[in-house]
Amino acid sequence: MTLVPIIKRDYIVNLAKQGKRIDGRKFDQYRNIEIETNIIKKAEGSARVKLGNTQVLAGIKMDVGEPYPDSPDSGVMTTAAELIPLASPDFESGPPQQDAIELARVVDRGVRESQVIELDKLCIEPGEKVWIVFIDIHILDYDGNLFDAASIATLAALSTTQVPATRFELGEDYPLPIKEPPISCTSIKIDDFVMLDPILDEEEIADARLTVATDNNGDLRAMQKGLNGSFTREEIQKVIKTSLDNGQEIRKHLYKNLGK
């Protein structure tokens, strides 16, 4: 470990012992979320999410293509994330690296496994023609917690998506059929302190990370643990509790922004 992270870690841990965080938040307090939708004219749906200083843009494009042979009557979705050099001095352009792939896969799973997009309604001709939904996530400014920012942006973008049927001469445009999405909340652990929604400085020195996705009924829908540290049973339960409470708040905020 080089010197700067050691100093930073000392600083963060000392603050935590007094019950404080660098930016003055409580341990279980989320940053302010701003959501703007339909900002990209060329995209079928789009959303920019600001989570404190983190900024993520999700754009949805749709196309007509062939279904997979094992699911001939359902649409296809793909997710890609780009950690573009705009967002951080450490990001480089080129083919997606490990981190971008993990991010895209976690967001993809959140949408796919809880069937947020009703893919079975996106069939045009069984076995021949279906709609393909491309989710592209661009990180614009990186100050920690990309998992949550990217998934909120994706959900907001999906809920404003219009299927471009007119462009493909398949009738009128209509809203993309989607179901109520689960909301994910990420916490990190430094020494014995568990903090919700880490900023970059906290994320860089974290021992362990846990993302918990919860649905409207208060049930758990997905989890992903990361980094080489560990959580105790009690800590996990506490993280889940925090994620449930904050998940509800984020959901309300999201719906309010979408005008639902």
Partner 1 sequence: MKTEDVKLIDAKGIRLDGRKIDELRPIKIESGVLHRADGSCYLEWGGNKVFAAVYGPREAIPRHTQNPLRAIVNAKYNMAAFSVEDRKRPGPDRRSREISKVISEALEKVILTEQFPRSMIDVAIEVLDAEAGTRCAGLTAAGVALADAGIPMIDIPVGCAAGKIGGKVVLDLGKEEDNFGDADVPLGISPRTGEIILLQMDGHLTFDEFNTALDYAIEGCNKVSKLQKEALLRKYDTIKEGK
**What whole-number distance in Å separates Cα of residue 178 and Cα of residue 121?**
10
Where in the chain does DSSP place strands (E)?
A: 33-37, 45-51, 54-65, 76-82, 123-125, 129-141, 162-163, 174-175, 183-190, 193-196, 208-214, 220-226
> Which DSSP state fits 117?
B
List 8, 20, 25, 61, residue binding partner 1 (CB under 8 A): 61
DSSP assignment string, 157-198: HHHT-EE-TTTTTSSS-EEPPB-PPPEEEEEEEETTEEEES-
Choose between 16 and 64: whose C-beta lies nearer to partner 1: 64
Residue written as tokens 């889940």? 240
Binding segment for partner 1 among 1-9, 24-32, 50-58, 108-116 (CB under 8 A)? 50-58
Site residue total, partner 1 (CB under 8 A) = 34
Q: Is 4 in the site for partner 1 (CB under 8 A)?
A: no
Query: Minimal distance in Å, beta carbon 76 to partner 1?
Result: 13
| Sole residue written with tokens 């959501």 | 35
Return phi, psi of residue 195, to 5°: -125, 135
Element (H, E) at 23: none
In the range 178-237, which residues lie near partner 1 by CB under 8 A? 200
**Please, which of residues 115-134 interact with partner 1 by CB under 8 A?**
134
- Is residue 94 within the footprint of partner 1 (CB under 8 A)? yes
User: By CB under 8 A, is residue 41 in contact with partner 1?
Assistant: yes
In DSSP terms, which residues pair with 214 in a beta bridge? Answer: 183, 220
- The answer to whether the CB of 74 falls within 8 A of the CB of 140 is no
Q: Which of 82, 102, 207, 235 binds partner 1 (CB under 8 A)?
A: 82
When binding is defined by CB under 8 A, the residue of 13, 86, 165, 258 that contacts partner 1 is 86
- Residue 136 sits in the site that holds partner 1 (CB under 8 A): yes
Query: Which of 30, 131, 142, 231 contacts partner 1 by CB under 8 A?
Result: 142
What are the residues whose beta carbons fall under 8 Å from the beta carbon of 223, sequence distance 6 or more?
Answer: 210, 211, 212, 213
State in angstroms the smallest separation of the CB of 202 from partner 1: 15
**Euclidean distance between the first and the last CA atom of the chain, given in angstroms as a whole number:** 48
Choices 64-72, 76-84, 182-190, 227-235; region in contact with partner 1 by CB under 8 A: 76-84
Choose one: 3-11, 87-95, 178-186, 202-210; the region binding partner 1 (CB under 8 A): 87-95
- 53 near partner 1, rule: CB under 8 A: yes
Among 13, 76, 80, 170, binds partner 1 (CB under 8 A): 80
Interface contacts to partner 1, rule CB under 8 A: 39-44, 46, 53, 55, 57, 59-61, 63, 80, 82, 84-89, 93-96, 134, 136, 138, 140-143, 200
